[in-house]
Chains A and B, each alone.
Chain A
């Protein structure tokens, strides 16, 4: 365990580096190595210790401080019988005010309320964990909220949902209280890590930087809306089929609220691409503090691969990525099945580790077998990218959710066009963002998600049209060299770090969470290519 007295940048990581592999983790890894002079502290937040099996990445030497915290560790049974405490009425009134403000964000200064509340959440504060768990004020507040708002008949379920939902927040408050000082706090998601960032910001007055790959709040929402574990106790007469069950809604609102608190506390909010930035603004981020910094790849390092390509008929389509459901490998396999009808010699390669979700990998193998595709589709496992890229003619990406997938950029830099689903920044990467970018031409094709026939058609069309393929290759090369180099990315973050580190301390609660300057109204429908993110590889 590394320990230090202070650090330059404190990274708040939830469920990623260094224990979990994926696009976000490798991005963090690269960031750490890009600034060898900066001293980093890392706070890892996970669910339970047993869910992580050792570090997947080695910590570089400039990580001077490292600590882990688990939010859902099963604690020991209460040693002593909890005693009822009265509770500080004024503190609970403040908390009620904050809850009311979160319920209706218009006009309320959530950031200021939060700033006032943060000191009371600590171990000896007026709103500490014991107060939440055992005070009469807390009980009365919960009962009142239930009677006023809850549409689910079960009070028991309501009570425990509220308790379980809020419990991690006190754990994070304790973490914030004990954490070493840093010049800049940098969280790479909202959610619990973002909440911790907000706590640290209000406690220390140091700037908070949020850079999101995906949009955490949205991913949680999708997840919660589909989950099976949330109960709905409404009886036949109480059920309004057109309304979501109350507990589901409560969970969604909880994550929306802690996301909003993080945005309010942040000094700079970075998205990977424009669509996500608009989404952040729609979710309550102040537009003036948001910006986009795209990922970049080592264009010069990959350039020699263009020369290594052997001219010939194009027939190899490769999906480079972990074999997991979010990549929708099955759609790729089905697309290969459809494509093989018109192009029998087509080859589909699936390149990526299969350990993360062995059951899914097995299903994919079974699907290949049942479609009789053994000759066309190959699982190559983990491969060195330099070895395989020169042999690939088209990079395929069938994911149902992506942010700004690096593999597409790496493909471009190695002279390979891409066919992707219409997710994340894919359309922006393939067709271009603004006029100037679009003028470079199309570097492949974008199709609808989960549509094997459309995907197959796009693949076959591109492989069989040499002129189009050449044009797509040139467009990809030009685009990645102009907009997506690694140097551009590291320079942007270096400038941000330097600016924030030099900023003076902000006195507690002095900065209001401005409500003006927001070009998109809260709750407005997301823009046409509303984007999703997550692990990119």
Chain B
């Protein structure tokens, strides 16, 4: 559409160009007596050329229009000294340029030097600073700026590992430390609470069983996440466990073939100190095809809590040394030696 309009404008501009030239010729023929016809003709042509220069400039491609003054001056000179011809030469060259565009580099691009590797940034870094973070945080004798820096650094770590430390810092003598520790915990909790809130809203509007199952399952997982990330304490902790279990039950009521949900129920029962029930749920998850090696640590814990140590040892032995996670390794070594 805009192309059509610009073509139309160009055609009109050129028509205007020809028209004013025609008026110029008419005025040559009717030059008043007593004036040198050549001088009069030249003056008229110079004035007309000004209008023509403006019209022709409209037709030029954008990058030829600037700088405005010099472009206009050139066009005016051309139109003054080459009446009519100038326009046709310009038109022809524009058409020529459109058909056979030159391969000219854009003047917007310039060469930049090859990037260098700045070694000074790397050389300033002291590696391994992360290992001392916890020690720096706990030690109240360390300067407060140093502790704050350490606290900011651990913000990026998962709350599951830093939760306990952060909670201890809520009682720190330095207020800045307390506030940032609070902010970190609060943000982690809010993220999950927001999801719980929107998911619970969705549950009210769920239409069929499969949707309800999915939402209940998600709610159970989210409540469990609060527990897993170490974000709830005391009475609220127990309440959260109940909530998680309730949603897990609701989800299983519509589809009891969901192995992962049985595992969640098992872990919730473990957290509430009911190993028999937990064992039952874990078995169920196993029957439904949950990977045995991922269940094994939990089954071992169940056996341990029941007091069946031979069974604990057996379960952990099946893990083998290679498969065990680093955190699990000491337990495996202990029980299999």
A interface with B by C-beta (< 8 Å): 151, 153, 218, 221-222, 225-226, 234, 237-244, 248, 325, 334, 337-338, 341, 362-363, 366-367, 370-371, 400-401, 423, 448-453, 523, 525-526, 528-532
| B residues near A452, Cβ cutoff 8 Å | 233-236
Q: Are B239 and A240 in contact (CB under 8 A)?
A: no
Min CB gap B216→A, angstroms? 15
Known contacts A448-B170, A449-B178, A525-B144; A237/B236 CB under 8 A: no
25 A-B contact pairs sorted by A residue (CB < 8 Å): A221-B176, A237-B125, A238-B121, A241-B129, A242-B132, A243-B153, A244-B149, A244-B153, A248-B152, A325-B186, A338-B236, A341-B235, A367-B193, A370-B196, A370-B200, A371-B236, A371-B239, A450-B170, A450-B185, A452-B235, A453-B235, A525-B144, A526-B144, A530-B173, A532-B175
Q: Are B153 and A242 in contact (CB under 8 A)?
A: yes
Min CB gap B183→A, angstroms? 5
Q: Are A449 and B170 in contact (CB under 8 A)?
A: yes
Q: Are B179 and A401 in contact (CB under 8 A)?
A: yes
Q: Are B174 and A525 in contact (CB under 8 A)?
A: yes
| A residues near B145, Cβ cutoff 8 Å | 523
> Quick one: which of B117-132 are within 8 Å of A by CB?
118, 121-122, 124-127, 129-130, 132
Q: Are A366 and B236 in contact (CB under 8 A)?
A: no
In the bound assembly, the distance between CA atoms of A172 and B118 in angstroms comes to 38
Task: Answer whether residue B19 sits at the interface, using C-beta atoms and an 8 A cutoff.
Answer: no
Task: Answer whether residue B133 sits at the interface, using C-beta atoms and an 8 A cutoff.
Answer: yes
| A residues near B127, Cβ cutoff 8 Å | 240
Known contacts A450-B182, A526-B144; A531/B124 CB under 8 A: no
Task: Answer whether residue B143 sits at the interface, using C-beta atoms and an 8 A cutoff.
Answer: yes
Q: Which of A151, A153, A225 has the most CB of B within 10 A?
A: A225
Q: Are B122 and A242 in contact (CB under 8 A)?
A: no
Q: Are B176 and A240 in contact (CB under 8 A)?
A: no
9 closest cross-chain pairs (CB), A and B: A242-B129, A530-B175, A241-B130, A240-B125, A238-B121, A453-B234, A525-B144, A338-B235, A226-B183
| B residues near A241, Cβ cutoff 8 Å | 129-130, 133, 153
In the bound assembly, the distance between CA atoms of A390 and B178 in angstroms comes to 34
Q: Are A242 and B176 in contact (CB under 8 A)?
A: no
Task: Answer whether residue B184 sits at the interface, using C-beta atoms and an 8 A cutoff.
Answer: yes
| A residues near B155, Cβ cutoff 8 Å | 226
Q: Are A242 and B197 in contact (CB under 8 A)?
A: no
Name the one of A239, A367, A400 contacting B179, with C-beta atoms under 8 angstroms: A400
Task: Answer whether residue B243 sits at the interface, using C-beta atoms and an 8 A cutoff.
Answer: yes
In the bound assembly, the distance between CA atoms of A337 and B232 in angstroms comes to 13
Min CB gap B174→A, angstroms? 6
In the bound assembly, the distance between CA atoms of A530 and B133 in angstroms comes to 23
Min CB gap A153→B, angstroms? 6
In the bound assembly, the distance between CA atoms of A234 and B129 in angstroms comes to 15
Q: Are B193 and A363 in contact (CB under 8 A)?
A: yes
Q: Are B183 and A526 in contact (CB under 8 A)?
A: no
Nearest-CB residue, chain A, relative to B157: A241
Min CB gap B161→A, angstroms? 14
Nearest-CB residue, chain B, relative to A234: B121
| A residues near B173, Cβ cutoff 8 Å | 525, 528, 530
| A residues near B194, Cβ cutoff 8 Å | 363
Known contacts A400-B182, A450-B182; A526/B174 CB under 8 A: yes
In the bound assembly, the distance between CA atoms of A531 and B183 in angstroms comes to 16
Known: A242-B126, A525-B174, A530-B175. 10 other contacts (CB 8 A): A222-B180, A243-B153, A334-B236, A337-B235, A338-B236, A366-B197, A450-B185, A525-B143, A532-B175, A532-B179
Name the one of B175, B196, B235 contacting A531, with C-beta atoms under 8 angstroms: B175
Min CB gap A446→B, angstroms? 12
Nearest-CB residue, chain A, relative to B235: A338
In the bound assembly, the distance between CA atoms of A151 and B149 in angstroms comes to 15
Task: Answer whether residue B79 sits at the interface, using C-beta atoms and an 8 A cutoff.
Answer: no
| A residues near B180, Cβ cutoff 8 Å | 222, 225-226
| A residues near B243, Cβ cutoff 8 Å | 370
In the bound assembly, the distance between CA atoms of A334 and B193 in angstroms comes to 14
In the bound assembly, the distance between CA atoms of A370 and B242 in angstroms comes to 11
Nearest-CB residue, chain A, relative to B237: A453
In the bound assembly, the distance between CA atoms of A423 and B179 in angstroms comes to 10
Known contacts A226-B155, A453-B234; A242/B149 CB under 8 A: yes
Task: Answer whether residue B150 sits at the interface, using C-beta atoms and an 8 A cutoff.
Answer: yes
Q: Are A238 and B176 in contact (CB under 8 A)?
A: no
| B residues near A453, Cβ cutoff 8 Å | 233-235
In the bound assembly, the distance between CA atoms of A523 and B145 in angstroms comes to 8
Name the one of A151, A448, A526, A532 contacting B171, with C-beta atoms under 8 angstroms: A448
Task: Answer whether residue B94 sits at the interface, using C-beta atoms and an 8 A cutoff.
Answer: no
In the bound assembly, the distance between CA atoms of A2 and B135 in angstroms comes to 58
> Quick one: which of B36-53 are within 8 Å of A by CB?
none
Nearest-CB residue, chain B, relative to A237: B122
Nearest-CB residue, chain B, relative to A242: B129
Min CB gap B293→A, angstroms? 32
In the bound assembly, the distance between CA atoms of A226 and B180 in angstroms comes to 7
| B residues near A222, Cβ cutoff 8 Å | 176, 179-180, 183
Min CB gap B180→A, angstroms? 6
Q: Are B118 and A530 in contact (CB under 8 A)?
A: no
Q: Which of A153, A240, A338 has the most CB of B within 10 A?
A: A240
Task: Answer whether residue B90 sits at the interface, using C-beta atoms and an 8 A cutoff.
Answer: no
> Quick one: which of B172-230 are within 8 Å of A by CB?
173-176, 178-180, 182-187, 190, 193-194, 196-197, 200
Q: Are B184 and A337 in contact (CB under 8 A)?
A: no
Q: Are A238 and B125 in contact (CB under 8 A)?
A: yes
> Quick one: which of B142-164 are within 8 Å of A by CB?
143-145, 148-153, 155
Name the one of B130, B170, B235 contacting A242, with C-beta atoms under 8 angstroms: B130
Q: Are A242 and B133 in contact (CB under 8 A)?
A: yes
| B residues near A449, Cβ cutoff 8 Å | 170, 178, 182
| A residues near B236, Cβ cutoff 8 Å | 334, 337-338, 371, 452
In the bound assembly, the distance between CA atoms of A530 and B172 in angstroms comes to 10
Min CB gap A256→B, angstroms? 11
In the bound assembly, the distance between CA atoms of A218 and B243 in angstroms comes to 39
| A residues near B239, Cβ cutoff 8 Å | 337, 371
| A residues near B190, Cβ cutoff 8 Å | 363
Nearest-CB residue, chain A, relative to B175: A530
Min CB gap A345→B, angstroms? 17
Min CB gap B315→A, angstroms? 36
Min CB gap A366→B, angstroms? 5
Q: Are B235 and A238 in contact (CB under 8 A)?
A: no
| B residues near A528, Cβ cutoff 8 Å | 173
In the bound assembly, the distance between CA atoms of A18 and B234 in angstroms comes to 43
| A residues near B186, Cβ cutoff 8 Å | 325, 450
Q: Which of A325, A337, A400 has the most CB of B within 10 A?
A: A400
Min CB gap B237→A, angstroms? 10
| A residues near B233, Cβ cutoff 8 Å | 452-453
In the bound assembly, the distance between CA atoms of A153 and B117 in angstroms comes to 10
Min CB gap B209→A, angstroms? 23
Q: Are B152 and A225 in contact (CB under 8 A)?
A: yes
| A residues near B196, Cβ cutoff 8 Å | 370
In the bound assembly, the distance between CA atoms of A531 and B130 in angstroms comes to 29
| B residues near A244, Cβ cutoff 8 Å | 149, 152-153
In the bound assembly, the distance between CA atoms of A371 and B179 in angstroms comes to 26
In the bound assembly, the distance between CA atoms of A240 and B125 in angstroms comes to 5
Min CB gap A225→B, angstroms? 5
| B residues near A240, Cβ cutoff 8 Å | 124-127, 129
In the bound assembly, the distance between CA atoms of A371 and B183 in angstroms comes to 23
